[in-house]
């Protein structure tokens, strides 16, 4: 694997033969710097820390005697890795395990960790199982705002408003984030959770801003970094955390999280829609 692959060479949106045997070459890495340049973020001096947490629901392989085995897994790709992994390529890669024999589940997870780490250019954590479903939390849902909305793309940071006279420690949630795959145009749906210590964010403006992603085409990780960067620029908070929990497609969901350095990582959970 020599490096990132241009998006026009990805298997998205075209017929791809079902993999008949294990093949790490199915993974397509994409340079994170490409998306970050578009929002004015220097890839060499990131204003955030974070991770992309993937949930794999359709993991299967053959044991040493040829009997199919099935499981689930969680992958964590560090946000400071030079590359992200395109989701359909990851699905095809995982499908390549379906007819391949391994001595144990541990051997499968070790192989996945090695291959994803090589693709991402940084150590990727792989473990068996999935995090629990989200229970009740203290996040304020902003979706009930009585507002008119007319902008559905491109994302417009001018919609964000803050009250500098009021300093708060807020955790806000919306289930209305939607963007589109930049290659196929398929919709991507997510719950986004924003934790901010700083000037009070206007709820109506924030909702309008999140909805302005509705017709926007960008990868999940890039959308979250755009939201983080816009909020950081407009609100100038002391602390900021943005996590999006995207719904499942092809047996995978992606949960990017970005935060100002020093912010504790939120507990890993899944949404009901995932």
Out of 63, 143, 170, 188, pick the active-site residue: 188
Per-residue pLDDT, 112: 98
d(CA 205, CA 235): 12
224 backbone dihedrals φ, ψ, rounded to 5°: -65, -40
Q: How many CA atoms lie within 13 A of 94 on its CB side?
A: 26
Kindly report, residue by residue over 228-237, the tens digit of the pLDDT: 999 999 999 9
Out of 52, 115, 181, 223, pick the active-site residue: 181
Kindly report, residue by residue over 92-151, the tens digit of the pLDDT: 999 999 999 999 999 999 999 999 999 999 999 999 999 999 999 999 999 999 999 999
44 backbone dihedrals φ, ψ, rounded to 5°: -90, -10
CA 44 to chain centre: 20
> Would residue 165 be called left, alpha or beta, if left means φ above 0 and alpha means ψ between -120 and 50 degrees?
alpha
Domains observed in the chain: 24-128 (3.30.1130.10), 140-259 (3.30.1130.10)
d(CA 74, CA 56): 6
- Please give the DSSP secondary-structure letter assigned to residue 73: E
Give percent of the chain above pLDDT 70: 94
Residue 224 is assigned to a ligand binding site: no
Residue 53 has pLDDT above 80, yes or no: yes
- Please give the DSSP secondary-structure letter assigned to residue 87: H
Catalytic residue flag (residue 156): no
Residue 9's pLDDT band (cuts 50, 70, 90): low
Residue 254 has pLDDT above 70, yes or no: yes
Residues whose CB falls within 8 Å of the CB of residue 245, separated by 6 or more in sequence, listed in order: 190, 191, 192, 193, 253, 255, 269, 270, 271, 274
Helices (H), 100-188: 105-120
69 backbone dihedrals φ, ψ, rounded to 5°: -125, 155
Residue 87 is assigned to a ligand binding site: yes
7 backbone dihedrals φ, ψ, rounded to 5°: -65, -25
Residue 195 has pLDDT above 50, yes or no: yes
Residue 118 is assigned to a ligand binding site: no
How much is the CA Rg of the chain, to the nearest whole Å? 19
- Average of pLDDT values for 74-98? 96
Residue 249 is assigned to a ligand binding site: yes
d(CA 53, CA 212): 24
- Average of pLDDT values for 199-211? 98
- Average of pLDDT values for 211-222? 97
Per-residue pLDDT, 94: 97
Residue 248 CB-density burial (10 A; 0-12 exposed, 13-18 middle, 19+ buried): middle
Catalytic residue flag (residue 181): yes
Residue 12 has pLDDT above 80, yes or no: no
d(CA 242, CA 195): 7
- Average of pLDDT values for 200-224? 97
The pair of structure tokens assigned to 160 is 């964000």
**What average pLDDT does the structure give for the chain?**
94
pTM of this structure:
0.92
Residue 2's pLDDT band (cuts 50, 70, 90): very low
Residue 121 is assigned to a ligand binding site: no
Per-residue pLDDT, 16: 59
Residue 265 is assigned to a ligand binding site: no
The pair of structure tokens assigned to 154 is 């491109």
Give percent of the chain above pLDDT 90: 90
- Average of pLDDT values for 70-82? 98
């Amino acid at each position: 694997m020599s490096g990132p692959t241009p998006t026009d060479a990805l298997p998205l949106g075209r017929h791809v033969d079902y993999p008949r045997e294990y093949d790490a070459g199915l993974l397509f890495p994409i340079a994170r710097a490409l998306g970050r340049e578009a929002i004015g973020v220097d890839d060499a001096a990131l204003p955030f820390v974070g991770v992309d947490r993937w949930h794999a629901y359709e993991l299967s392989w053959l044991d040493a005697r040829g009997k199919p085995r099935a499981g689930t897994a969680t992958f964590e790709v560090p946000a400071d890795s030079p590359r992200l992994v395109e989701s359909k390529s990851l699905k095809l890669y995982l499908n390549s395990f379906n007819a391949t024999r391994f001595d144990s589940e541990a051997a499968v997870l070790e192989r996945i960790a090695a291959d994803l780490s090589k693709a991402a250019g940084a150590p990727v954590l792989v473990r068996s199982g999935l995090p629990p479903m989200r229970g009740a939390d203290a996040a304020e849902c902003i979706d009930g705002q009585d507002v008119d909305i007319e902008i559905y793309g491109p994302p417009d940071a001018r919609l964000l408003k803050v009250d500098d006279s009021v300093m708060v420690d807020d955790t806000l949630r919306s289930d209305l984030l939607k963007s589109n795959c930049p290659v196929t145009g398929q919709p991507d749906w997510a719950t986004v959770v924003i934790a901010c210590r700083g000037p009070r964010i206007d709820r109506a403006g924030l909702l309008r801003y999140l909805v302005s992603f509705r017709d926007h085409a960008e990868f999940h990780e890039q959308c979250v970094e755009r939201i983080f960067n816009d909020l950081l620029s407009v609100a100038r908070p002391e602390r900021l955390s943005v996590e999006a929990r995207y719904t499942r497609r092809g047996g995978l969901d992606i949960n990017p999280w970005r935060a100002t350095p020093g912010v504790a990582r939120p507990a890993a959970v899944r949404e009901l829609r995932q």
